[in-house]
Amino acid sequence: MVVIRADRSYLRTSFGESFIDYLNKFSDIIGFSIECDDDIKVELNPDRPDLFSFYAINNAIKTYYHNNFIVKSPFDRSNVKFTSKLNDRYIMGFTASGHRLGNLFKHIIEYQERLHETIGKNRKKMAIGIHDLDKIKPPFLLKYADGISFETYDGFKGSVNEIISGHPKGIEYGSLVKRPIVIIDDENDVLSMPPVINGKKSIVTEDTKNLFFDITGSDFNAVRSALMLFMYEMHYLNYKVSYADFPGLKGVLKYDFRPLKLNDNIIKRYLGISIGRENTIESLRRMGYRAEVSSYGYNVLVPGNRIDVMGDVDIIEDIAKAYGYNNIDENVPETSGIARHYKINDFKNIIRDIMISSGFQEIMTFVLSSNYYNNIKYDGGFKIENPKSIDFSVIRDRLYLNFLNFLNINKRNPLPQKIFEIGNVISKTEEKTHLCAMICDSETDYTSIYKILRYLSLRLSIDFHVEPMDIETLIPGRSGVIKINGVDAGIIGEMDPEIYTKFDIYNPIAFLEIDVESLI
C-alpha cells in the first residue's frame, strides 16, 4: 500500500474547505482508506499511481464531481535535447516552467521518492533527477563516467568511484549500475550520476522557477510511467510542462491519450447490465477519460498517467465505479445445480493442515515471474510475449525461486523462517499443482527438510524414497529426487549458497518441491 498524509489545515488552505468532505466521498468511489485526525492519512492501492498525491486526488475529485473534463493532452514539446551514448539505458525527460517552487519544493522531492519506491522499485528499474534549468545549458547527454570527478548537491567532492564508495547515497545505490554513468550539459558539467545522486551545479531550491527532469532506467515501462506521472503532477501544480527531445519521443507521445474501443456488448458482458450510452459516456468522462460515441460503440482516449489501464476490463471497472455498484441489481443465475467439493481442493486443505501443524506459514507468490531473477537466468515454463514488465515476463515452472524473493523482503524478521505454498506451475505443456516447503535458519540442513517430507508421508500414508542426485541450484551430495511408486515426484535438498546470496540472504536454506497429485 502507498500512504500519503498532510496536515488538515494545509489541505483546506490548498484545496478549499470542502476538500476533506469530498475526499471521504471519493474514497468510497475509488476504494481507498482514509483516516481523519489533525493529519489526513490516505492509504492507496499500488495499482492507482495516478492518485499518489493530494494534488492528483484533488484533480480527480474536480473531474468526478465538477465536470472538469480533459479535452486534450496538456503538454507541449520543448527544444531541450536529451541524448544518450548508451544502448542499455532508456532515457526520457521534460521541462516544467512557471512560478517559484516555494513550499512545493518539499512536495516534489517527496513525490520523486514515492515514484522511486513504487514504479522504480527503489531505483532498480528507473531513477529521476530534478534540476534547475536556469543553471545548466542544454543539450544534455548520458554517457559512461570514466575519469569524471564532480561535486554532489550536498558538497561531497571526488571521482565517481570515490562518491560510490564514500557517500551514503553511493553506498546505497552504487551497486545498481555495473559501470557508473553521468548526465552532462553542453559545458561538460555533471547534472547527475543516475541512479545515485545529483550534482551541485543544477541544485534545485525554493527559488527555482524552471526545471528539467531526467528519467533513466533499464525498464522502458517504468521510465515511461514515471515520465507521465511526474508530468501530470507538475501540471497539477500549475506549471507549463513540455516534453524534452529524447530518443523514442514519437512513440511516447502516442501513449498519452492512447485510443481504446468499447461497445455495449462488451460492457454488458462484464457488468451484467446495460446502462445506456448516456450513462456510459458520463461515467467515462467523470473517471478522467475522453469519450465519444462511435459507429463501433465508444472511442475512449486514455490519459498517460493512467498507467494501470491495459485494456477493456480496466475501463469497464471504472465505468462500474462511476455508475455505482449499488445501482447494479442482483440477478439470480439462470442455471441451477448442486455444489460439491472439488477433490483436489479438499486434498490441498489436508496438506495445509499438516504443514501449519509443523510450524510452517503459508504464502502466495506470483504465477508470473522474472526471466532474470537477481542475476539468475530463468526461462520458466513459458515466456510472455511483449510483457508489460520484466518482473512478469515468464510463467513459473517451479515455486522455490519465488520464495527467495519473499525471504529477501522478510530478511529482517526473526529466524527460523518456515514457509510453504501450494500453487500452480506450467511444466512443458501441462499445468500442475506443486507443494513447496522451505526452511531458512542459521543451522538448517538436509535433515531439517527431510523430516518434513517424512512427516508428510506418514500423515498421508504414502511410501517414498529419495534417490541421491546432483540438481541445479542445490548443493552436490545434499540433494535428490523424490520418487513415489518409482516415478519422479519432486526434489529435495540444501540450496547452493551461490544462489541465495544473490538475494542478500546469508543463512542456509533447505527445501522440497513436489507434485501434489503424486501424493493423492
For residue 501, what is the domain's CATH number? Answer: 3.30.930.10
Q: Is the residue at 276 inside a domain? A: yes
Mean pLDDT, to the nearest integer, of 253-260?
Answer: 94
pLDDT value at position 368?
Answer: 84
263/250 same-domain check = no
Q: Is the residue at 432 inside a domain? A: yes
**Contacting residues for 138 by C-beta, under 8 A, at least 6 apart:** 79, 80, 81, 82, 185, 186, 212
Q: Is the residue at 397 inside a domain? A: yes
The pLDDT of residue 376 is above 60: yes
Q: Is the residue at 175 inside a domain? A: yes
170/201 same-domain check = yes
352/485 same-domain check = yes
pLDDT value at position 429?
Answer: 72
239/308 same-domain check = no
CATH code of the domain covering residue 290 = 3.30.56.10
Mean pLDDT, to the nearest integer, of 117-136?
Answer: 95
User: Any idea which of 31-40, 176-185, 224-233 has the lowest mean pLDDT?
Assistant: 31-40
- Give the range of the structural domain holding residue 42, as residue numbers without chain letter: 2-66
Instruction: Please say which residue of 219, 237, 254 terminates a domain.
Output: 254
Q: Is the residue at 60 inside a domain? A: yes
Q: Is the residue at 337 inside a domain? A: no
125/201 same-domain check = yes
pLDDT value at position 187?
Answer: 96
184/315 same-domain check = no
**How does pLDDT run across 201-232, given as a tens digit for each residue?**
999 999 999 999 999 999 999 999 999 999 99
* Model confidence band, residue 340 (pLDDT cutoffs 50, 70, 90): confident
CB 319 within 8 A of CB 271: yes
Q: Count the domains in the chain.
A: 4
**How does pLDDT run across 386-399, given as a tens digit for each residue?**
776 667 778 888 89
How many angstroms separate the CA atoms of 146 and 148, rounded?
A: 6
DSSP 462-490: ---EEEE---TTEEEEEEEEEEETTEEEE
87/235 same-domain check = yes
* Model confidence band, residue 107 (pLDDT cutoffs 50, 70, 90): very high
* Model confidence band, residue 330 (pLDDT cutoffs 50, 70, 90): confident
Q: Specify the pairing of strand 430-440 against strand 465-468.
A: unpaired
Query: Is this prediction's pTM over 0.85?
Result: no
Q: Is the residue at 334 inside a domain? A: no
Mean pLDDT, to the nearest integer, of 362-377?
Answer: 75
352/433 same-domain check = yes
Q: What residue has cell string 522440497?
A: 512
Q: Is the residue at 333 inside a domain? A: no
Of 507 and 370, which is predicted with more confidence?
507
- Residue 505's closest CA among 367, 324, 376? 376
40/109 same-domain check = no
User: Any idea which of 251-265, 371-385, 482-496 has the lowest mean pLDDT?
Assistant: 371-385
Dihedral through CA 326, CA 331, CA 333, CA 338, nearest 10?
70
* Model confidence band, residue 79 (pLDDT cutoffs 50, 70, 90): very high
388/486 same-domain check = yes
* Model confidence band, residue 68 (pLDDT cutoffs 50, 70, 90): confident
pLDDT value at position 388?
Answer: 65
The pLDDT of residue 372 is above 70: no
pLDDT value at position 375?
Answer: 56
43/184 same-domain check = no
